[in-house]
């Protein structure tokens, strides 16, 4: 029922056209009643239906699809030609294209300026702007729209989503509704209906934001859950396994081609691929190292503060770099552009990860679709993922270090007991050389324990070292560990050796490889006893070290070990380090023996070695 019908009758009677109508005391009330029953009721049914269509849009679909469906309702109800939505981005201070009906996003300008534009004025004033003729409107710069689309008038309505949290900004934008008519007169009813639909659309987007927050929290809980389950594994936490379990949690958020974790070397000269998904049938070569200048984007990641802003083919913020078009950006090399074509990579997100104020790692997300941008909630979950992976990386290094403490710790205790017995002798001077040898070993092993502890954060410097010297030293320490573990009937054999065989790597890496292989070989020897032997040689440009032990291994277990999938942590550490220093490992089994062959690139530089008592 209409409110104040008597006042409405008086208002109608004052209209010039109404004065010419024969005055009859029952005429106008009857007219108002007829309009109410035959016009307004149908009109309200249409209003409710179209508003409900907007309110009932599924908030689970992508935001651009929500906006397309909402603008379709607006166009159909208001009899418009088409409509589009732009949202203000405070980072770039631009009005970004977010959806339209009919959908023509690929043809629209990605962003327009906030200043001097119709959209910008609506956002600033939060009021509807009417443009009866676009041709004569200076604030509407793209006049090509008149010829291309056949539109001449415009109604721009404010669009707003209130912030959810105190630290947030309100999301503001504009819905631009286009008409074909020239010099169109917009009724107040049309303007009110457009504003009503805009408010209902805000409600749908707010619902989507609530769902996104809920989904984000679920994702975060799942990520943390995977890491905590990995912590409970007997073999300890392994970055590769964590990475491969966590990344699928993001599959329904992003149409990913792949994702990877990289680290910057301490000298900032190189970038190393630490983990990649998918590893099987993917294009990742874990452990591969790239020069920092191989891709311009690597340097840019280290200096985000100096380059923030919107660029034609990339977006750079304090939190990430987003390559919108890999083929047109200047941040990628020609080699990588061809790589992107071959693997159907159409947009790339780079997220730097920091310890304190220093960027130490970064993640990449290669997408199949050419996205224009990522939502804040998506960026938030990627940043959370990166932080959790960094924690996992630290825990992995700690697990590795604790595992590799065992052999030098056992050897140190054994040599300390021997030294104590010698010093307790009355005539200990006669054992001077033996005492000196034990002191040297204790010094070297305690130094190595210190290096292992520091390796959680750093790994020293690359050096040219003799692979034979290192293998002999670790064999001697392993021999002491055999004695300390009271392992019986183990026959040791050494040689032949190539004493001039050199490799370039971090010394602690080579020591950890040999410690783990010797430890595993010793444990594999049957209880009744067996054989343990080592040798080195040059073959086909590789520096080779062999470790052979009594005991056989199945083909299935051999393949697992070659892929770094063994249950023991030692082989996992070994496999990862060998890949990191560009070597390879072979496992041979037969006649009751198993042989591990480590091959590393030969370095022809000379090395100054200390005498360690060759056998």
**Integer Cα distance of 331 and 327 in angstroms:** 10
Q: Looking at the structure, do residues 451 and 467 belong to the same domain, yes or no?
A: no
Higher-confidence residue of 521 and 24: namely 521
Q: Which of 390, 414, 445 is the last residue of a domain?
A: 390
Cβ neighbours around 558 below 10 Å, total: 17
Q: Could you tell me which of 106, 173, 57, 109 has the C-alpha nearest to residue 371?
A: 106
Same domain, 365 and 256: yes
Q: Are residues 612 and 548 in the same domain?
A: yes
Identify whether residues 385 and 248 lie together within a single domain: yes
pTM of model > 0.75: no
Residues 375 and 409 in one domain: no
pLDDT at 608: 46
Same domain, 476 and 559: yes
**Do both 439 and 298 map to the same domain?**
no
Do the domain assignments include residue 14? yes
Q: What is the pLDDT of residues 388-445, one digit of tens each?
A: 777 777 666 666 666 666 667 777 777 777 777 777 776 666 677 777 777 777 777 7
Number of domains in the chain: 4
Strand 111-113's sheet: what is its strand order? 111-113, 94-101, 82-89, 171-179, 153-161, 129-131
- Do both 484 and 343 map to the same domain? no
Tell me what the mean pLDDT of segment 313-331 comes to: 90
397: left (phi over 0), alpha (psi -120 to 50) or beta: alpha
In a domain, 302, yes or no: yes
Region at 344 (left for phi over 0; alpha for psi -120 to 50; beta for the rest): left
Residue that the structure tokens 């958020």 belong to: 253
Average pLDDT, the chain: 79
pLDDT of the residue at 235: 53
Structure tokens given for 608: 């100054």
Q: How far apart are CA 171 and CA 173, in angstroms?
A: 7
CA-to-CA distance for 203 and 214, rounded, in angstroms? 17
Asked if 518 and 569 count as a contact pair (C-beta separation under 8 A), the reply is no
Do 9 and 28 contact (CB within 8 A), yes or no?
Answer: yes
| pLDDT higher than 50, residue 149 | yes
Expressed as residue numbers, the domain containing 414 is: 405-458
- pLDDT tens track for 37-46: 666 777 788 8
Assign 3-class secondary structure to 51-107.
Answer: HHHHHCCCCCCCHHHHHHHHHHHHHHHHCCCEEEEEEEECCCCEEEEEEEECCCCCC
Q: 363 and 439 share a domain?
A: no
Q: pLDDT tens digit string along 234-255? A: 555 566 677 777 777 776 666 6
What integer pLDDT is reported at residue 233 of this predicted model?
Answer: 55
Alpha-carbon distance of 370 to 349, in angstroms, equals 11
Query: Does residue 499 share a domain with residue 424?
Result: no
pLDDT score of 1: 34
pLDDT > 70 in the chain, percent: 77
Structure confidence by residue, pLDDT tens digits, 461-492: 678 899 999 999 889 888 877 776 667 788 88
According to the model, what pLDDT value does residue 557 have? 72
Higher pLDDT, 543 or 210: 543
- The CATH number of residue 366's host domain is 3.30.450.40
Residue 155 lies in a domain: no
Contact partners, residue 611, CB within 8 Å, separation at least 6? none
Within-domain flag for 534 = yes
Q: How confident is the model at residue 614 (pLDDT cuts 50, 70, 90)?
A: very low
Which one of 335, 357, 390 terminates a domain?
390
Same domain, 448 and 466: no
pLDDT at 609: 44
Confidence at residue 3, expressed as pLDDT on a 0 to 100 scale: 46
Does any domain span residue 120?
no
The confidence score (pLDDT) of residue 610 equals 40
Please say which residue of 432, 458, 484 terminates a domain: 458
Is the confidence at residue 350, as pLDDT, over 90?
yes
Residue 303 counted as domain residue: yes
The residue among 242, 173, 169, 254 whose CA lies nearest residue 216 is: 254
Q: Is residue 257 situated within a structural domain?
A: yes
- For the ranges 8-12, 178-182, 213-217, 532-536, which has the lowest average pLDDT? 8-12
- Strands 490-494 and 530-539 turn out to be parallel
> CB 441: neighbour CB atoms within 10 A?
23
216 in a domain, yes or no? no
Query: Could you give the CA distance from residue 308 to residue 319 in angstroms, rounded to a whole number?
Result: 10
pLDDT of residue 267: 76
CATH number at residue 494: 3.30.565.10
- Whether residue 294 is found in the same domain as residue 350: yes
């Amino acid at each position: 029922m209409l409110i104040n019908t008597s006042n409405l009758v008086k208002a109608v009677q004052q209209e010039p056209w109404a004065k010419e109508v024969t005055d009859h005391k029952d005429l106008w009330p009857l007219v108002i009643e007829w309009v109410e029953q035959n016009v307004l009721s149908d009109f309200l049914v249409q209003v409710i239906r179209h508003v409900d269509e907007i309110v009932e849009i599924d908030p689970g679909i992508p935001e651009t699809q929500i906006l397309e469906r909402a603008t379709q309702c607006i166009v159909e109800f208001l009899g418009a030609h088409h409509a589009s939505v732009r949202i203000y981005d405070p980072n770039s201070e631009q009005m970004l294209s977010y959806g339209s009906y009919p959908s023509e996003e690929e043809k629209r300008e990605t962003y327009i300026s906030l200043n001097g534009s119709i959209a910008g004025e609506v956002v600033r004033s939060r009021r509807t702007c009417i443009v009866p003729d676009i041709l004569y409107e200076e604030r509407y710069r793209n006049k090509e729209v008149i010829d291309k689309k056949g539109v001449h008038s415009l109604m721009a309505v404010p669009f707003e989503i209130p912030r959810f949290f105190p630290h947030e900004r309100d999301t503001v934008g504009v819905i631009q509704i286009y008409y074909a008519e020239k010099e169109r007169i917009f009724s107040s009813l049309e303007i009110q209906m457009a504003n009503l639909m805009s408010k209902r659309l805000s409600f749908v987007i707010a619902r989507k934001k609530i769902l996104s927050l809920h989904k984000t929290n679920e994702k975060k809980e799942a990520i943390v859950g995977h890491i905590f389950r990995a912590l409970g594994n007997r073999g300890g936490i392994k970055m590769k396994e964590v990475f491969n379990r966590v990344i699928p949690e993001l599959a329904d958020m992003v149409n990913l081609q792949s994702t990877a974790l990289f680290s910057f070397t301490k000298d900032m000269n190189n970038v190393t691929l630490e983990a990649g998904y998918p590893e099987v049938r993917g294009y990742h070569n874990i452990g591969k190292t790239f020069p920092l200048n191989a891709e311009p984007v690597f340097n840019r990641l280290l200096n985000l503060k100096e380059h923030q802003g919107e660029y034609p083919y990339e977006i750079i913020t304090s939190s990430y770099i987003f390559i919108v078009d890999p083929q047109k950006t200047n941040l990628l090399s020609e080699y990588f552009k061809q790589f992107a074509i071959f693997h159907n990579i159409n947009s790339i997100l780079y997220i730097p990860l920091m310890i304190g104020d220093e960027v130490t790692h970064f993640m990449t997300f290669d997408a199949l679709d050419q996205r224009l941008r990522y939502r804040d909630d998506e960026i938030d979950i990627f940043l959370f993922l990166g932080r959790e992976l960094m924690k996992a990386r630290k825990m992995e290094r700690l697990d590795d270090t604790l595992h590799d403490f065992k052999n030098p710790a056992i050897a140190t205790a054994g040599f300390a007991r021997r030294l104590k017995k010698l010093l307790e002798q009355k005539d200990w001077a006669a054992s001077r050389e033996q005492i000196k040898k034990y002191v040297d070993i204790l010094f070297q092993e305690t130094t190595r324990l210190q290096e292992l502890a520091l390796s959680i954060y750093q790994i020293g410097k690359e050096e040219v070292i003799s692979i034979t010297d290192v293998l002999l030293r670790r064999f001697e320490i392993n021999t002491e560990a055999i004695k300390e573990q009271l392992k019986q009937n183990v026959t040791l054999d050494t040689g032949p050796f190539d004493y001039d065989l050199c490799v370039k790597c971090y010394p602690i890496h080579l020591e950890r490889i040999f410690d783990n292989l010797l430890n595993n070989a010793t444990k594999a020897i049957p209880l009744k006893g067996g054989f343990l032997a080592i040798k080195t040689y040059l073959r086909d440009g590789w520096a080779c070290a062999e470790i052979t032990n009594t005991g056989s291994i199945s083909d299935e277990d051999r393949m697992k070990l070659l892929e770094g999938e063994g249950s023991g942590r030692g082989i996992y550490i070994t496999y990862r380090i060998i890949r990191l220093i560009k070597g390879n490992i072979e496992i041979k089994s037969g006649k009751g023996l198993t042989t591990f062959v480590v091959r590393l690139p030969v370095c022809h530089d000379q090395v100054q070695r200390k005498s360690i008592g060759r056998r």
